[in-house]
Amino acid sequence: MKTIRIGLIGSGFAAHFHAGCYRRVVGVEVKLRAVTSAHPERAQKLADELGIERVYRSVDELLADPEVDLVDVCAPNNLHVPFIEAAAAAGKHVAVEKPLTGYFGEDWPDADARIGDAVPGAGMRAGALANADRALTACARAGVRLLYAENWVYAPGIQKVRRLLEKAGGTILRIEGEESHSGSHAAYYRRWRTAGGGALLGKGCHPLGAALYLKRVEGQRRDGVPIRPRSVLAETARLTRTPGFESEAVHYIKYGYEDIEDWGSLLITFDDGTVAQITASDTTLGGIRNYLTVFASNAVATVNVNPNNLCVAYAPEASVFGDEYITEKIETKAGWTFPSPDEDWVTGYPHEIQDFVESVVNDREPLSGAALARDVVAVIFAGYESASEGRRVTIE
């Protein structure tokens, strides 16, 4: 049996569930070989918890380990491309958390400027696409796989819709999707320089990635060529900066973002004339709101990623269920809730990691790879340009 040895860069939320999912892979022997992190104590804790063989002090040390086959980048967005380039140069296959990259003000002359306030949308788009192309070029030159960790592509609900649509044989006319919740817990997310974008990039990438994937599959099935996005019309807002919100005595929604949007919406037109509507927000209470609805010429299908009614529970007080996990981002355990029996499975993480490992072992493209990763960046940053200029923007 082929053995794949994993090196993790990062020790936070994403690294934790990625490491857990590697342990669920079947048909291939997977070893958690190494981890490194900017927080050595967290890296050691993760290693102790999940049986990771080695904890390295730096990314360079991890990449120098000849027994690491696949590097999994679970670091802040602004570090994705440098780590991808370094891993590719070391001959390692690379899995990278979403989004692939963004724009971080690298070429902006004022180092103290708030990027989200200062840089025109067109400049952001050019910079983000340049970053994406750096990553793709590095992996192509090195002959290694770029594995894009868009879990929505792998979510069982999305894959069921794909199979239903393939059997139906119709045309996807419209897709509507959303990811929203009450705000990110990550400190780097509050600044454009480290996050690379706001709600559209950090959350909208999920339903957008699924929509682009389904249209790609439709085109390949029918014509042998993927259907791709052609143009976008977008709007963004900073809703937690509105006077009414700021004047409230109690805030249940996270706030204090420096220069990123906390709400955004995209209207995408594909090259076959069909459309998709994607919304993302950091201003929604009640836990994560993740759904995708596909309107085809002969069928309609909705995927409720979160919440779904696989399990529904009620508690008169938040303390009733104790420390039992309910679902991500929920503000209270009181009242009616939607506990997730296996949240990783519902959201596609084990399926994603299984496909990544098989992609490396069998030397094939993953379901979610470099082309999809770049298209997501291209659409979102065309959206930022559209929102800043108030016009429809053609996608490169």
Q: How many other CB atoms sit within 10 Å of the CB of residue 210?
A: 33
Least confident stretch, 176-180, 189-193, 197-201: 189-193
Domain count, the chain: 2
CA distance 55 to 49: 12
* Same domain flag for 270 and 356: no
- Residue 71 falls inside a structural domain: yes
How far CA 393 is from CA of 192, 238, 369, in Å, comes to 22, 21, 25
Task: Note the pLDDT of residue 1.
Answer: 62
* The amino acid at 276: A
Can you say how many angstroms the Cα of residue 154 is from the centroid of all Cα atoms in its chain?
Answer: 12
pLDDT band at 184 (very low <50, low <70, confident <90, very high): confident
- Residue 279 falls inside a structural domain: yes
pLDDT band at 73 (very low <50, low <70, confident <90, very high): very high
Element (H, E) at 388: helix 370-389
Q: What is the rounded average pLDDT for all residues in the chain? A: 96
* Percent of residues in the chain assigned helix, strand, coil, to nearest 5: 40, 20, 40
Share of the chain above pLDDT 90, in %: 94
* Same domain flag for 216 and 182: yes
Q: What's the alpha-carbon Rg for the chain, to the nearest Å?
A: 21
> Residues in the chain, how many?
396
CATH number for the domain that contains residue 196: 3.30.360.10
Task: Note the pLDDT of residue 2.
Answer: 87
CA distance 159 to 149: 15
* Same domain flag for 24 and 145: yes
Share of the chain above pLDDT 70, in %: 100
- Residue 336 falls inside a structural domain: yes
- Residue 199 falls inside a structural domain: yes
- Residue 192 falls inside a structural domain: yes
What angle (nearest 5°) sits at the alpha carbon of residue 267, between those of residues 265 and 270?
Answer: 145
Q: 230: which residues sit within 8 A by CB, 6+ positions away?
A: 269, 270, 271, 394, 395
Of 177, 387, 179, nearest in space to 275 by CA:
177
Q: Stretch 281-292: mean pLDDT, rounded?
A: 96
Q: Is residue 367 scored above 90 in pLDDT? A: yes
| Residues facing 290 on adjacent strands | 179, 306
* Same domain flag for 96 and 203: no
Task: Note the pLDDT of residue 238.
Answer: 97
CB 146, CB 136: distance < 8 Å: yes
Q: Stretch 170-188: mean pLDDT, rounded?
A: 93
Q: Is residue 36 scored above 70 in pLDDT? A: yes
Q: For residue 302, give its domain range.
A: 152-342+377-394
Q: 308: which residues sit within 8 A by CB, 6+ positions away?
A: 338, 340, 346
Is omega for the bond preceding 99 within 30 degrees of 0, making it cis? yes
* Same domain flag for 192 and 215: yes
- Residue 244 falls inside a structural domain: yes
Least confident stretch, 23-37, 174-188, 291-305, 377-391: 174-188
* Same domain flag for 136 and 166: no
| 78-116: pLDDT as tens digits | 999 999 999 999 999 999 999 999 999 998 888 888 999
Q: How many other CB atoms sit within 10 Å of the CB of residue 135?
A: 27
* Same domain flag for 223 and 365: no
* Same domain flag for 302 and 386: yes
* Same domain flag for 9 and 95: yes
CA distance 162 to 148: 19
CATH number for the domain that contains residue 85: 3.40.50.720
Element (H, E) at 295: strand 289-296
Q: Stretch 309-314: mean pLDDT, rounded?
A: 94
CA distance 327 to 347: 12
* Same domain flag for 305 and 223: yes
- Residue 347 falls inside a structural domain: no
* Same domain flag for 241 and 336: yes
Task: Note the pLDDT of residue 163.
Answer: 98
- Residue 327 falls inside a structural domain: yes
Least confident stretch, 177-186, 199-208, 367-376: 177-186
CB 32, CB 69: distance < 8 Å: no
* Same domain flag for 181 and 326: yes
Tokens matching residue 167: 């059997």
Of 230, 269, 262, nearest in space to 246 by CA:
262
Going by the DSSP 8-state scheme, the letter that residue 348 receives in this structure is T
CB 269, CB 232: distance < 8 Å: yes
CA distance 9 to 81: 13
| Residues facing 264 on adjacent strands | 236, 280
Least confident stretch, 179-193, 211-225, 248-262: 179-193
CB 175, CB 277: distance < 8 Å: yes
| 192-207: pLDDT as tens digits | 999 999 999 999 999 9
Of 214, 220, 224, nearest in space to 276 by CA:
214
